[in-house]
Amino acid sequence: MLHLRLITPSETTDEVVRLIENTVGTAHLVVVPGAARNPVGDVVMCDVAREAGDELIAGLRRLGLDETGSIAVENIDLSLSRRADKAEDEAPGEGADAVLWEGLTDATHEESTLSYTYVAFITLATMIAACGVVLDNAILIVGAMAVGPEFGPLAGISTALVQRHPRLALRSLTALLVGFAVAMAVTVGFSLFMDALGLFHRSDLEGKRPNTAFVYAPDAFSFIVAVLAGIAGTLSLTSAKSGALVGVAISVTTVPAAANAAVALAYGDTEQTAGSTVQLLLNLLGIVLAGTLTLLAQKWFWARHREQREQRAAL
């Protein structure tokens, strides 16, 4: 269940209440006249089944409530109510499958913002991966993949393409490109520094690396795994199962490939630099493509589901 807290201008409160009452899957409607001070208006609260949430939020936005008042949405971790159970039973579909498009856009907007924290995480992840490729240590590679924050901008690009938000697309693309550029540039300097200390050696990079050689040897599986990870990651975002994102993060070699390209560039190894760059681009392309197609499929499914429900109601 979702909890909605609305601030409505007094003249539109009745219309908002009618919308809530006519939306299948709502319960616990509360109206507090004149309680809001900034902006001035009434406070309306209700609970709604997750699978009906997107329809209700879209209706509230059509009433202009996001401009004249406020729409706040919270997840309810526990709701002990017979009315809530009835609302969930009446709502179409399953809550785990529902997509809150406004929530998805907001989440990806935040995750795809180019910030000092984002750049720090992707840089640290790339530096950790650099140690992993030089030492041929798979544990360090996995750790770097888990630290990397690059899935946020990738999901932002997919969401922007489906929702037609050019600003979100530009923001996400900027975060992705600038983030990797800074991370790789710092890692080149880090590699030269480690080499000066005698901790990195060219022979380690060019020798046999059975555990990490895959990061500069792209093949068909590189793209296939990226596509599968993109689908899983997108589903984890839309279904609010964020725990699955950790598994997605450690299944694609974006950060390790960038790290290997940076270390190879520091030593002038153009072959490994090229191979790692191709590996990186294949992964990025696969994730964006899969994420976009997954969102399009979900959008079609819920639109079709809504049409069928409206047709049954009309009979």
β partners of residue 72: 5
pLDDT reported for residue 245: 58
- Give residue 243's pLDDT band: very low, low, confident or very high (50, 70, 90): low
pLDDT reported for residue 206: 86
pLDDT reported for residue 240: 57
- pLDDT (mean) for 269-290: 93
pLDDT reported for residue 63: 92
Judge residue 41's burial from the number of C-beta atoms within 10 Å of its C-beta, 0-12 exposed, 13-18 middle, 19 or more buried. buried
- Give residue 52's pLDDT band: very low, low, confident or very high (50, 70, 90): confident
Better-predicted residue by pLDDT, 247 or 236: 236
Question: What global pTM score does this model have?
Answer: 0.80
All structural domains of the chain with their residue ranges = 2-96, 103-301
Please tell me the distance from the alpha carbon of residue 69 to that of residue 55, in angstroms, as a whole number. 18
Residue 262 pLDDT > 90, yes or no? yes
* CATH tag for 2-96 (out of 1.10.1060, 3.40.1360, 3.90.320, 3.30.70): 3.30.70
pLDDT digits (tens, 9 = 90+) for 193-213: 999 999 999 988 888 888 888
Please tell me the distance from the alpha carbon of residue 192 to that of residue 127, in angstroms, as a whole number. 12
**Torsion angle in degrees (nearest 10) through CA of 304, 53, 79, 8:** -160
Residue 113 pLDDT > 90, yes or no? no
Task: Quote the tokens at residue 157.
Answer: 């690009």
- Give residue 241's pLDDT band: very low, low, confident or very high (50, 70, 90): low
Phi-psi region of 217 (alpha: psi -120 to 50; beta: other; left: phi over 0): beta
Beta strands in 23-164 (DSSP E): 26-37, 40-48, 70-75
pLDDT digits (tens, 9 = 90+) for 94-111: 656 667 777 777 777 777
